Every structure is written in structure tokens, then in C-alpha cells.
Structure 1
């Protein structure tokens, strides 16, 4: 029987700990980029058609991703075992982005983010009928409480948020379906193939509209922010990939909710928005429900890992 050197074990543990801390730092940096992406979109929406903003987002994504991953550098990258599912996934991502960008015309950054945080709840709910991953009564109760939090933010029929909150809710549904389709495709296509397909629907659907809705930016700042829109998205996804290479998803998942801090800060500094008590309370309920779901996932999966 081989004996492990205690010092070797300590060194491995220290390395693992450093990797996890680095992964957490990269995850937080990625979420800051995504918050800056939404803030840039909200700013640009005041100066051009939101669909033009969506087009800029996806063209920049295609250019930046295509520079690194293309048929020359990755032969066969465009071949998919599930081309129709790849197309549907790309369409869902486009719908989620477009709905969110239009909602940002009327809602604060923190308001849209509080609603979008319901995505993990929707994934847990939808995964049952679509993937056979049914949730137990405790997780089902957490999902119900989470949706109550969304209602606190939106306050339907009580003179609460602008009706554009419905766009954010529809965007969250699209994003949940996008996440589920990504999980299904992971068993059939490489991550490079899936990444290349991601922005195709956005470019294909918005490009024909550009000659009719194009507004030339009136200042160098607008051009800079247009460039930043693509850069924030590409950098955010790259940081996300690097984070998951260094730390398990279960370790990183709770830090997703730090994005609300960036959204509140950017909303206040750039737009002078201060979230009301309903947004903060409802967002807190949604976050607590999401964290409880993560906890239950660990509890349910633990016997399987230990078996």
C-alpha cells in the first residue's frame, strides 16, 4: 500500500485552495463584465434603436469568437450532431438578449437583474418535464418562494414596475430554456462548436434590419461604448471559462449573485438610479431561494458522490 507524503498532500491542498480562490476571483470579474455589458446597453439604448444595440452585441461576439475559433483553427467546428437544437439554442439566446435590452429602456439595472436571477429557479422547474430531473418538495417550495420574490419586485397590478418587467420575465424564461439546451448539447457537441453557434441567430435576424434602423453615433464616447459592448461580453465569457477551469461549479455558483452589487453601483453612478425597498426585498428573496436550491443540490448529490 502506497503512503502519501504529508507534505505532498499539504502542497496539493494548498494548490487546490489557491485554484479555488483564483476561480472565485475570475468569476467575480466575469460578473462585473456582464454588469458593464448591461450598463453599456442601457446607455446606448438612449441614443439608438435597441435592436441596433443587440446587433452590435452579436456582431462583436461573432468577430471576437471567430478570430479564435473557426474552421481553419478548429477543423470541423461547424459540424454539429444536433444542428436544429444548436439553432434553437442560438435563437433562445437572441430572444433573451433582445427582451432584456428592450426592458432596459424602462427599468433600472437592479430591477432587471432581480428578475433575471429567477433563471436558476426556472431551470430547476423546467428540467423535470424536459430532462426528467424532477425536484423534491423542499426544492419545489424554494422555487415557489423565489417566484414570490419576483412578484415583490414586479408588483403586478399594484402600480409597481413598468410593464416592461414582463419583457424581463420572458427573457428569463428564454434564458432558462437556453441553459437547458446547453446542458443537452454538452453530450453531443464540443464547447467550441456550441460557442460558435451562439451568436449566429442574433446576427442573422438583426442584420437585415440595420439599414432601416441604423443611427450613426454622434460622439466618440458612443463609438467607444459600442466597442465596449462586444469587449465586455467576450471578456466576460472568457473569464467565466477560466473560472470553471480552476474551481468546481458548485463553489462558483453562489457568487453569481454578486452581480446585483455591480448592477446597483453602476445604476447609481451612471444613471442616478436608486433601487426601492421592493426591488431590494424581492431581489433578496430570489437570491435566498437560489442559494437554498444550490444547497439542496449538494445535499441530494452527496450520497451519490460518496457511494
Structure 2
């Protein structure tokens, strides 16, 4: 029985989330063994080579872009560098499920800031879902509680940078190829962390360490590939909620690989964030369908 476009899209979205979470797991495995800047530089070499070849095969490896988009891409690169540093620093010092749960608030923060900065429509139902979801984030972070650390703040800063990245991406012209943006971002992150690591101690790596870095690179490349393919099939309103399966992977891998399991309040907060995000995505899908019918 052939799969529908929606089911193919859902499977691709789940595969993308699994690949990104597996990449995070590999990176966390190396925390304490290899400096962060060295890890990001070496992983960046492999991802830049792959995305560069991909962009070349698609015929988009050029810079004939609108001047406005060049500035937006530069801003996106800054956001990507900031999110990589703060997210991975938090990941190295916190349970993977906790960090992943905080990042599940991204659809909420992106919609909220899009409404505030770009005056995009945001009804009271979606606004209520955003506020409830942010309360869920507070349950995960629990400022002032015994388990609260600086790295919880780092995870929140990472959410801010990723939100900035996604908002900038939404402002890019349709004529600007997505793979070209991905490649320039990957190259820039690689160069930045390579230069930033010059004044720091680098460690020698054994076969196991190299293997984990290669596995991490393969995982993140698979995540990129699936995330691009998923935009070409099915209805976004149906597919988008499956992004939250990344939290299931984070819970499973965090327990299996690191022996971590979140506190009950963290799980409750994560559930609130996920439910709020799914409801908001559902409402956006309903509004899009209604607009299409009226148009």
C-alpha cells in the first residue's frame, strides 16, 4: 500500500528529528574529551564538504543574490554561531532531554516575535498557547530552584539565537536557494570556530574519537537532508507536529546512553510546551486553510 504525501512527510520529519538528536548525543559523548571549538571545526569540515557538493550538484553554488539577502545571510550566520556555542555548552553540562525540552519552545518564540517585530497576525488562541507554553519552559528551567544553573540560562540564550536565525530565514527572498544558505552558514561556522580555537589547546584524538565525530557529521547531514525533503511533500500543518518526536529520542537516548531521566516537574513542563506547540501549529493550519478557501 503506497504511502500518502502526508505520511511520507511525517516519516521524514521524524527521521530528521532522530538524526539531529543522535548528532547531539554523539557531541555530548565527546564533552570533556575534546574542546568544543575543536569539535565544531572538525565537524564543520565534513558538513561543509557535503553541503558544498550538494549545492554544486543543484547548480546553486553562486552569489548572485539580492543585496538585502546578503545582509540577512550574514545575520543568520551570527545567529547560527551563537546558537551552536550556547546550545552545545548547555548540552555538555545538562541532561540532553532537559536541553531538548527547552528547545521545543521554538515554534512558540518564533510566532511571538514574528507578531511583535513583523506584525504578523496572532489571534488570542495562539497567543494563549504561547503564554501557556512559556510557563511550561519555566517549569523545565525552574529559576531559583536547587537544580537551576548558569547552563539553563545558556539553553535559553540558544533558543533566542535559533529564534533569530529562523526569523531571518523567513525574510529571505524566494530566489535565494536554501542549500546555498546552508552551505555558507556551515562554512562560516567552521571558519569561525577554527580561528577562535587557534589560541586554545587542541587535543590528540584516537580512532574512537574520530569515529564519533564522523558519526556526528553523518547524523547532522542526514538531518539536513530530511529537513529539506520534508518541505517538498505533504501539508505542513499535518507534518510540523511530528517535530516533537525529537523529545522522545532525547528522553530515550539520555536514559540509555547517559543514565539521565528528567525530574517530574521537567516532564510536566515539557508536556505543556509540546501540547501548546501542537495546538498552535494546528490553529495555524486551520487559519491557512480558511485563508486559502476565502482567497
Normalised-by-shorter TM-score class:
over 0.9
Q: Give the drift of 1:132.
A: 2.1
Indicate if the aligned counterparts of 2:136 and 2:268 stay in contact, CA closer than 8 A: yes
What SS class does the counterpart of residue 45 from structure 1 fall into? coil
Q: Give the drift of 1:146.
A: 0.7
Indicate if the aligned counterparts of 2:237 and 2:282 stay in contact, CA closer than 8 A: no
Q: Give the drift of 1:227.
A: 0.9
Q: How many residues align?
A: 292
Residue aligning to 1:20: 6
Change (3 A) 1:76 1:110: closer
Q: Distance in 2 between matches of 1:51 and 1:90?
A: 16
Q: Give the drift of 1:77.
A: 2.2
Choose which of 168, 172, 175 in structure 1 pairs with 2:162.
Answer: 175
What SS class does the counterpart of residue 157 from structure 1 fall into? coil
Residue aligning to 2:62: 77
Q: Which moved more, 1:118-127 or 1:180-189?
A: 180-189
Residue aligning to 1:42: 28
Q: Distance in 2 between matches of 1:54 and 1:91?
A: 15
Change (3 A) 1:48 1:163: same
Residue aligning to 1:126: 113
Residue aligning to 1:59: 45
Q: Distance in 1 between matches of 2:191 and 2:131?
A: 37
What SS class does the counterpart of residue 211 from structure 1 fall into? coil
Indicate if the aligned counterparts of 1:42 and 1:104 stay in contact, CA closer than 8 A: yes
Give the alignment's TM-score, normalised by structure 1: 0.89
Q: Distance in 2 between matches of 1:167 and 1:90?
A: 19
The answer on 1:99 being equivalent to 2:86 is: yes
Change (3 A) 1:109 1:150: same
The answer on 1:202 being equivalent to 2:216 is: no
Q: Give the drift of 1:135.
A: 1.2
Q: Give the drift of 1:214.
A: 4.9
Indicate if the aligned counterparts of 1:123 and 1:180 stay in contact, CA closer than 8 A: yes
Residues 114-153 of structure 1, C-alpha deviations (whole Å, 9 max, x = no match) = 1111111110111023322031222111111111001000
List runs of 5+ in structure 1 lacking aligned partners: 1-13
> RMSD across aligned C-alpha pairs, in angstroms?
1.9
Q: Which moved more, 1:53-62 or 1:147-156?
A: 53-62
Considering only CA atoms, is the larger Rg found in Structure 1 or Structure 2?
1
Residue aligning to 2:124: 137
Indicate if the aligned counterparts of 1:61 and 1:234 stay in contact, CA closer than 8 A: yes
Q: Distance in 2 between matches of 1:249 and 1:143?
A: 19
Indicate if the aligned counterparts of 2:236 and 2:285 stay in contact, CA closer than 8 A: no
Greater RCO, 1 or 2 (C-alpha within 8 Å, sep 6+): 2
Residues 238-262 of structure 1, C-alpha deviations (whole Å, 9 max, x = no match) = 0122222222222210100011111
Change (3 A) 1:55 1:228: same
Residue aligning to 1:4: none
Indicate if the aligned counterparts of 1:264 and 1:274 stay in contact, CA closer than 8 A: yes
Q: Give the drift of 1:299.
A: 2.6
Change (3 A) 1:32 1:289: same
Q: Give the drift of 1:101.
A: 0.4
Q: Give the drift of 1:28.
A: 1.1
Residue aligning to 1:192: 179
Q: Distance in 2 between matches of 1:208 and 1:157?
A: 37
Residue aligning to 2:282: 295
Q: Distance in 2 between matches of 1:198 and 1:80?
A: 15
Q: Give the drift of 1:39.
A: 0.6
Indicate if the aligned counterparts of 1:87 and 1:201 stay in contact, CA closer than 8 A: no
